[in-house]
Amino acid sequence: MILPILLYKNKILRNKNKNIKIKSNLNNIINNMFDTMYYYKGIGLSAPQIGKNINLFIISINNKKLIFINSKIKSYSKKKIISNEGCLSIPNIYVNIKRKKLINVEYYDNKWKKHKKIFNNYLSIIFQHEYDHIRGKLIIDYLKKN
């Protein structure tokens, strides 16, 4: 099911988001998030963008669906890269953002298997963008820093 995406003025997007109770059934919401993301031609979508203040986001890259539950960045490189980013919650606006080139992350997938991975470059950028949503941060917040 395609869900409405909240736009940047909605206060839900600014909330801190709660971790999800382990073993919760998230299949329906995850499927709806992928339907919504593909409909709006996105590459990532966070639960806050559909009105759910939980630590959940999805990414689609190279025809692969990635699901991130209760994610956290454990460490990151000092080296940064600049990315030009858009956001489904802020249509038609693009911002150059300095992101960490490499990040070390932990998360659960939709089967509640815990993962520890290192992402770099493009996947690192997308992960950090969606992770910002979980922390109540939007791309426009970077306009003050760049």
Burial of 142 (C-beta count, 10 Å sphere; 0-12/13-18/19+): middle
Catalytic residue from among 130, 133, 134, 139: 130
Three-state DSSP state, 55: coil
Contact between 71 and 40 (Cβ < 8 Å)? no
C-alpha pair distances (Å), 145 with each of 19, 52, 111, 140: 28, 28, 38, 10
Task: Give the helix, strand, coil percentages of the chain, each rounded to 5.
Answer: 30, 40, 35
Contact between 81 and 125 (Cβ < 8 Å)? yes
- Catalytic: 85? no
Q: Which residues are marked as active site?
A: 130
